[in-house]
Chain A
Amino acid sequence: MKSFQKVAALLVLALVASFAVQAQVKYPTKPIQVIVPAGPGGDTDLNCRIMAKYLEKELGQPVIIVNVNGAGGSLGSRKVKDSAPDGYTALFFHPSMFLNKLMGLVDYSFVDFENAGIAVMDNTNIFVVNATSPYKNLNDYISAAKAKPGKVRFATETGGFTHLQILAFQDATGADLNVVDVGSAAQKIVALLGKQVDAIGISYGIIKDYVASGKFRVIGVMSDVRNPMIPTIPTFKEQGVNMSFPKFFYYLFPKGTPQDIVGRFSDAIAKVAANPDAQAELNKFMVSAEYMTPAVANKYMLEQETTYFKYQNLMMNAKIEKEEVKK
């Protein structure tokens, strides 16, 4: 009798437990939109599409990429922020969101969202010069800048990640460059090819063919240690410039999205990051799939954001100095 009662109790328990599991919201039951606050064909868009390909398999529902370009990415991030917190709209973005806040373009940051974790790491933020230029390494560039203050050109996109990098660079080295806005990655490539600027800041993956064909030369990478995928490039730190700017890509959900949904999505990201095929595809563009759980990601992103805010004054006042000197 006792054993029968035990079995019966276990069965009931199992039944109740299965109901409990089913009582959890079924997710996903329809396609998920991932908003990419950048134009098609850029590195953000590409990384997201590669991730989406594999996420679909893990989640069992289509993952649809929606490009919402404009206003430095703030149009896209704002859209997700205002979306229904049902887990079917997500944001895929990178450090530029912090810069939007830094410049006063938006008044929110990643803490105003639910973090699903970091998915992709890009440690290939480099400075590149045209191969015909006399700068063989960072120090050549710095010396030239110091010899002719305000004359040596660096191309960036105002308010973008590379803008922050160049301000940090000037701060760390004392070099005084002519920082010009040329726009997106494609426009930076054109400007450098046409020798309209002396150096640009960009991700390696986009210009790897130019390096291979001998048109461009990379003079430094902003990572803590040399990137194994581009081992011949010395880091900034090696060359005496204490700068490190990883570009990390993360997924955010609107605030209020249920934790188990965010968790489910996050687990999917983790699985994709561990998938060798996904890794291989991303590695082709010199970025890597590196998963950070929401908790770890939040801590990491807070650290990074604090670093950026150190440069807020520089960013807002940079232009003023330039113009006044000219007058």
Chain B
Amino acid sequence: MLELFAAGFASVFTLASMFMITLGVFVGIIFGSIPGLTTTMAVALCLPLTFGMPPAIAMSLLMGLYIGGTSGGLISAILINIPGTPASVATCWDGHPMASRGEAGKALGAGVVFSFLGTLLSIVALVFIAPPLAEFALLFGPVEYFALALFALTMIGTLAGKQLAKGIVVGLLGLILAFVGMAPIDAFPRFTFGIHDLDGGFDILPALIGLFAVSEILSVAESDFALKKENVLTKFKMKGFGFSVKEFLGQMYNMFRSALIGIGIGILPGIGAGTSNIVAYSVAKSQDKHPEKYGTGCLDGVVASETSNNASIGGAMVPLLTLGVPGDTVTAMILGGLMIHGLTPGPLLFISNGVVVYGIFASLIIANFVMLIMEFFGIRVFAKLLSVPKHILLPVIFALCVVGAYGLNNRVFDVWVVMLFGVIGYVLNKLKFPTSPMILGIILGPMAETGFRRGMQMNEGNFWLFFTRPIGVFFFFATVFMIVFTAVGNVRNRRKEEARA
């Protein structure tokens, strides 16, 4: 292995390769930090540019994009409360409140450092235990996905905190919105009212853009915030990485747990950073002695979210390289890229093209460092850029969101979806309903239903056979546990409040 590593690093330490990595990270960060533009889009757009390149160089660029893009989302999440990519949704929830208190430096610094660490941990997993991880991922059949989805759905309860009923409602609304489109298995359109554009359902990206970006624009329009003096956000002091060694050490357990969640979700084909950041955040909140502090601007929230979303990078590369099966949307694009360059990922890739594989590992490691350095020095620049007055910044961001939504499937319909969700988000905010559970509903609904129905097919209609699968049983228990835990906690809090009143 050592020789392969040496060869891999050697292939990457060329001028062309290093340039590509740096360029990739740079472009990735830009795409990641602009709401509406995603990592997947960055890879999709740059893929044709790589056709003339030798495979190793092409991979350097793509790995740079992947890492830059996934971590870039934290910048806009923290500074303007709009997630740059679906991977940084949870970062908004505590990152922005921190910024509003003048602690943007700490939030950004922590986000960058823990993105780096999360990626690093997942790369270690990828390099050293990819095969066993892949074997583990293979154990996940429809029943396991169903159970896992159920468990993740209970996170809605954690996210909702005090507003349990409202949170559940919003989560259910997310599930309902996800029903629109083709039903899993039968493929018949459901709830489409004959509108063919709805056959494909609502894509998560326009939904996200609408819920966060548009509703933010509408709120800004409504309040006279734009008239008030700006901007505590961008005037912040920063020493080093913005947080103390003591704070850093205090986050260790959080970091490892979140990284584990990120890697675990990453290795499962079909779900990635977009889900792991929310799940890690929720788990962190549920395990914390003071869950109320989440949402008000606590470091733990940012750390959990940013560690896990970057950890999903290494995680998603595991099934891609070992099985030829993409772990998330970005790796699906990368798979296409690999195949066009004549590399078929799968069991033989390591044997026939070992140097390329280790070159990919080396690119990931180097790109990770490049990301750390670029973002650290770039924090001031980002703050400056995002201190452009809101009345100019937000419209421009919306225009870019339109590009992102349209570019998804080349149709204006997705732009309409953005606005629909913008209205939904705005109304929910006005009525004091939490919006965060909706994302979980939209992402996990299809996963749960598909898992359930496929599981029933496999077990010939016998639901009780679901409980013969150990991993499934584990998650079923975890689900029940979470439900009880959340309910009890909620009742207890209610009693405490009534006692105080």
Contact = CB atoms under 8 A, between A and B. Distances in A.
Contact of A46 (B141, B332, B336): B336
A27 interface: no
A153 interface: yes
A75 B142 CA distance: 26
Given A181-B185, A213-B347, A189 B339 contact: no
Given A41-B336, A190-B325, A194-B141, A159 B187 contact: yes
Nearest to B410: A66
Contacts of B349: 209
Interface stretch (B1-9, B212-220, B456-464): B456-464
A178 B458 contact: yes
A158 to B, nearest CB: 5
A75 B200 contact: yes
Interface string B120-155: 000000000000000001111110000000000000
A180 B457 contact: yes
Interface residues of A, number: 58
B393 interface: no
B139 A194 contact: yes
Given A70-B200, A186-B326, A196 B141 contact: yes
B430 interface: no
B196 A78 contact: yes
Interface string A35-63: 10001110001100110010000000000
A44 B333 CA distance: 14
Contacts of A72: 182, 187
B269 to A, nearest CB: 6
Contacts of B326: 41, 186
B340 A46 contact: yes
A279 to B, nearest CB: 15
Please indicate which of the listed interface residues A46, A64, A194, A197 has the most CB atoms of chain B within 10 Å of its own CB.
Answer: A194
A296 interface: no
A70 B347 contact: no
A125 interface: no
A326 interface: yes
Interface in B175-217: 181-182, 184-189, 196, 199-201
Contacts of A179: 457
Contacts of B409: 67-70, 75
A212 interface: yes
Contacts of B332: 39-41
Given A72-B187, A210-B347, A326-B460, A50 B410 contact: no
A39 B461 CA distance: 31
A46 B342 CA distance: 11
Contact of B458 (A45, A105, A196, A285): A196
Contact of A79 (B184, B270, B410, B450): B410
Nearest to B346: A209
Contacts of A209: 324, 344, 346-349
Contact of B461 (A105, A206, A326): A326
Interface in A170-186: 178-183, 186
A189 B51 CA distance: 27
Contacts of B461: 323, 326
A85 interface: no
B391 interface: no
A208 interface: yes
A34 to B, nearest CB: 11
A193 B187 contact: no
Interface in B380-415: 409-411
A190 B269 CA distance: 9
B142 to A, nearest CB: 8
Contacts of B342: 284
A191 B189 contact: no
A212 to B, nearest CB: 6
B110 interface: no
Nearest to B139: A194
Contacts of B186: 158-159, 319
Contacts of B348: 209, 212-213
11 contacts: A40-B336, A71-B200, A72-B187, A75-B199, A105-B189, A150-B460, A180-B454, A190-B323, A209-B324, A213-B351, A319-B186
Which 4 pairs of residues, A with B, have the shortest CB-CB distance? A70-B200, A194-B138, A41-B335, A41-B336
Interface of B: 44, 48, 51, 137-142, 181-182, 184-189, 196, 199-201, 269-270, 319, 323-326, 332-333, 335-336, 339-340, 342, 344, 346-349, 351, 409-411, 450, 453-454, 457-458, 460-461
Interface of A: 33, 35, 39-41, 45-46, 49-50, 53, 64, 66-72, 74-75, 78-79, 103-105, 150-151, 153, 158-159, 178-183, 186-187, 189-191, 193-194, 196-197, 206, 208-210, 212-213, 215, 284-285, 319, 322-323, 326
Given A35-B410, A41-B332, A68-B410, 10 more contacts: A49-B336, A70-B182, A105-B188, A150-B460, A178-B458, A190-B319, A190-B325, A194-B141, A196-B142, A319-B186
